[in-house]
Amino acid sequence: MHLDVDITNGSTQQDKPNINKQIKENITCKICGKSLKLDIDFIKNIAPKAKAEFQEGLLTLPDFMKKYEVNSCKDLVNILAQGQIETENFTKLRESLNYTKKTFKKPENIYAISPTA
């Protein structure tokens, strides 16, 4: 567990750190021009149940957005939505891989993708 404590702001509870780091990278949407800046308030708003590790990890997303050309509101929403589904609202580190016949026709294909899951 990593506990991020801001001594200027007071105490921090275990597993509920007060992460108040600003992301220096400023990425703007190539379509509408809005800022795609992520801060802890944005993360807590979209993922209120997220574990502290996920919150901290999501704050590093802008570092990868530029590298992988995630440069529109739609791109950011798609990445966050996919992550939210696969991690059960940013609370699980591994995808459950519990699929139904309706959603996935050949379960052996899942095993081929991730044999250790």
End-to-end CA distance of the chain: 23
Would you mind telling me the total number of residues written for the chain in this entry? 117
Return the pLDDT at 7.
47
- Token pair, residue 68, equals 């992988």
Dihedral through CA 74, CA 80, CA 82, CA 83, nearest 10? 160
Burial class (CB in 10 A: 0-12, 13-18, 19+), 50: buried
54-99 pLDDT per residue, tens: 888 888 888 888 888 999 999 999 999 998 888 888 888 876 666 6
**What gap in Å lies between CA 117 and CA 111, rounded to an integer?**
8
1-28 pLDDT per residue, tens: 444 444 444 445 555 555 555 545 678 9
